[in-house]
Structure 1
Amino acid sequence: MAEDTNNVEKQFSIQKIYTKDLSFETPNTPAVFTAKWEPAVDFNLATNVNNLEPNLFEVSLKVTITVKCGDVTAYLVEVNQAGIFALGGFNDQEMGPMMGSFCPNILFPYAREAISDLVTRGGFPQLLLAPVNFDALYAQHVQQMQQAPGTGTLN
């Protein structure tokens, strides 16, 4: 019976999901459209957490994609997808994975769709990002933090 009580005490809800910022740049158009299309894709992710009030957090996922053909930048797309999440009843050990993995995992499909749409509207071939294993990324981050003590805290 005590286990059921613990599960009831934990609360999670999505309050809002929104695009905080987005950018699409094509610095070398129209010349890039006449060049041979052999793209090299650079993919970067970053997350940020802001505590808005007790048990209410903004988690943002920033995805940056730079596509080059040779030394020429074809396009740069950046999406900062955010959400407001209400979390209650989670202990400190559970909050890290919730903020560093669970919430970004919810946000990623929205960022992925925005990126695909921007790239296509920019006149380039569709860019479909592969799924991201946020659990593995969070575990890697925790390991790096443990190897370099005193560099900050997780959240």
Structure 2
Amino acid sequence: MAEQDQNPVFQLQRMYLKDLSLEQPNSPQILLEQQQPQVDIQLGMQAESIADGMFEVSVTATVTTKVGDRTLFLVEAKQAGIFEIRNLPAEQVQGILGVVCPQMIYPYLRAIVSDVCTRAGFPPILLAEVNFQAMFEAQQQAQAANGGQTVN
């Protein structure tokens, strides 16, 4: 039994919508505008330990659409998951938290953002695919550069 306790563990315990917000501050007047809106999409990712071997990972999308300088609508959604990760080296855990977990969460976030936009009466916003591996590597390099370390 003790040998079994040392086996690597990675599993999703729960996936959930943590936060969702839709704002249409200039409705209904702005809905009469005929101009093409500008769309700005910001993504964020966060991971934190919530118990021994248990982590919450969340991916946030903030979609702001404007006509001129007035906001047409703003959607902010945060999809999260609780993951159990045990008996792995720390550098592997960081990679799993920064790449694998967000890749599992992101499709749900994409669907939510698209659905909310459609239900609000707008064309769906389709979030592009994200290379979380490249994001993670860039973040690691930036942290190393800020710490005065060199990255090979």
Q: Indicate the SS of the match to 2:121.
A: coil
Match of 2:118 in 1: 120
Partner of 1:153: none
Please name the residue that 1:51 is paired with: 49
* Residue 62 (1) aligns with residue 64 (2): no
Partner of 2:140: 142
Whole-Å separation in 1 of the counterparts to 2:45 and 2:125: 21
Which of these residues, 3, 11, 32, is aligned with residue 30 of structure 2?
32
Unaligned runs of 5+ in 2: none
CA drift of 1:121 comes to 0.7
In structure 1, C-alpha distance between the alignment counterparts of 2:35 and 2:123, rounded to whole Å: 10
**Runs of 4+ in structure 1 displaced over 4 angstroms?**
none
For residues 74-101 of structure 1, the C-alpha deviation after alignment (integer angstroms, 9 at most, x for no partner) is: 1110011110001112211111111111
- Cα RMSD after superposing both structures: 1.6
Q: Equivalent residue for 1:42?
A: 40
Q: How many residues align?
A: 144
2: CA distance between counterparts of 1:91 and 1:21?
A: 32
Q: Percent identity?
A: 38
Deviations 1:24-70 (A, max 9, x none): 00111112211124121111111222212111111111111111122
